[in-house]
Structure 1
Amino acid sequence: DPHTWLDPEKVAEEAQIIADKLSKIDSKNKETYQKNVKELVAKAKELTKKYQPIFKAAKQKTFVTQHTAFSYLAKRFGLTQLGIAGISPEQEPSPRQLTEIEEFVKQYKVKTIF
């Protein structure tokens, strides 16, 4: 799943790695890279802190998507995702998969499909 930016903490981890690499390659701008990543990490933590209680209090923690683009978000905030077409948005579900999705939607009373 390439959609890592949907998890604020994952974004912070990746940004730190990038800032560290850039700091080595371009040492004269190291201070700027590290200052910027420090701000990004703080904002990511704020987002997690803001949304954690919202998702925790949500009555519906299960959702269906056209493809599995929300894995990192779901894992971070304790949600359950079912993708109709897997990771590829171009992939068509088989009749068997459609039946499984229907059962999943009924079992978890899913009201919205993204």
Structure 2
Amino acid sequence: MIAYAEHQFALERREDDGFTYREILQGLIKRCKDPEKRLSLEEELTAIPFPGAASDIWSFFNELHVTRGNTGFGPSAITWSEMRAWSELRQIRLTSWECEVIHALDVAYLTSIATRKGSGGGES
């Protein structure tokens, strides 16, 4: 799940031209005439398959992710109290294991943002 998320966060990285890496790959695939090169680009786009058994956790993370705050220097972490409030509001009882996975996904996202800023890339 974490490897899938890291791959997705990398694909959503905005390049200096304003396009995400995913959009760039999709454009290259669309215009590519060489079948081998096209296959290579498609594999890069879908390198890590979605772990279907974890779709609920991915969905929970994304619901929390879109409501996260911002410190002025970048996105805030999803706090344990926010997870609890979301869980109560949605009437979904998260197990401690699910909370840990959501936290790990959040750390992966925040790390991807920090990496982008460090390499000169913009935030998405």
State the TM-score, normalized to the length of structure 2: 0.34
Q: Per chain length, whose mean CA-contact separation is higher, i.e. which structure has more relative contact order (CA < 8 Å, sep 6+)?
A: 2
Q: Which has the larger radius of gyration?
A: 1
- Structure having the higher strand fraction is 1
State the TM-score, normalized to the length of structure 1: 0.36
